[in-house]
Amino acid sequence: MDLAAIGSLLGSLKTATEIAKLIRESDATLEKAETKLKLAELVSAIADAKLDAAEVQQLILDRDETIRQLTAAAKLKTEIKWRQPCYYLSNSEGLEEPYCQNCYDSEQKLSRLHSDGKGFFQCRVCRQGYKTAERLKRESDDFNANMKRGRRLF
């Protein structure tokens, strides 16, 4: 928070208070012109105080938003789990859902992965594809079996 803005606000409020006291304590001997001048100064001081108060309020809102974002990021960091080849996060039903490793590592963005149900995942955001260790082993075993039978896959 900007301390200068708070100081300025307090200064404006003090000036407005002093002018209001002076007007209240003035007696009938003051001329109307002096009173009008003091009233104009009071209005100006109140306007300055309102502007300073709005600035302080915006600083507080910005700080609160930063705190909210940092709290959410810290909570996510404790909840997200890495299991090769992607990140997992439990949903509201307690089921784990896969998220893209590339999107999260590069942009701290959660992009849900789509699966074929056979160990292949694809991100619809960055188009990155991931295979589980089981899927890679199964493909390797199939390839080796086909090579032994003399089949060409290309």
**pLDDT mean over 50-68:** 92
Same domain membership, residue 89 and residue 126 = yes
Greater model confidence, 103 or 93: 103
**pLDDT mean over 47-55:** 87
Same domain membership, residue 33 and residue 46 = yes
Same domain membership, residue 72 and residue 84 = no
Write out the residue range of the structural domain in which residue 124 sits. Answer: 80-148
Residue 3's pLDDT is 67
Of 24, 47, 76, the residue at which a domain comes to its end is 76
Same domain membership, residue 92 and residue 67 = no
Residue 83's pLDDT is 87
Residue 124's pLDDT is 94
Same domain membership, residue 87 and residue 72 = no
DSSP per-residue string spanning the chain = --HHHHHHHHHHHHHHHHHHHHHHH--TTS-HHHHHHHHHHHHHHHHHHHHHHHHHHHHHHHHHHHHHHHHHHHHHHHH-EEETTEEEEE-TTS-EEEE-HHHHHHH----BEEE-SSSEEEETTT--EEE-HHHHHHHHHHHHHHHHTT----
**pLDDT mean over 120-146:** 91
Greater model confidence, 23 or 86: 86
Residue 63's pLDDT is 94
Number of folded domains that form the chain: 2
Task: Report the C-alpha gap between 129 and 118 in whole angstroms.
Answer: 13
Of 41, 76, 111, the residue at which a domain comes to its end is 76
- Is position 10 within any domain? yes
Of 76, 108, 138, the residue at which a domain comes to its end is 76
Residue 115 exposed, middle or buried by CB count within 10 Å (0-12, 13-18, 19+): middle
Greater model confidence, 23 or 118: 118
Orientation of helix 3-25 relative to helix 32-79, angle to 10°: 150
Q: Is the pTM of this model over 0.85?
A: no
- Is position 45 within any domain? yes
Same domain membership, residue 84 and residue 70 = no
- Is position 154 within any domain? no
> What confidence tens digit (pLDDT) does each residue in 28-45 have?
555 676 777 888 888 888
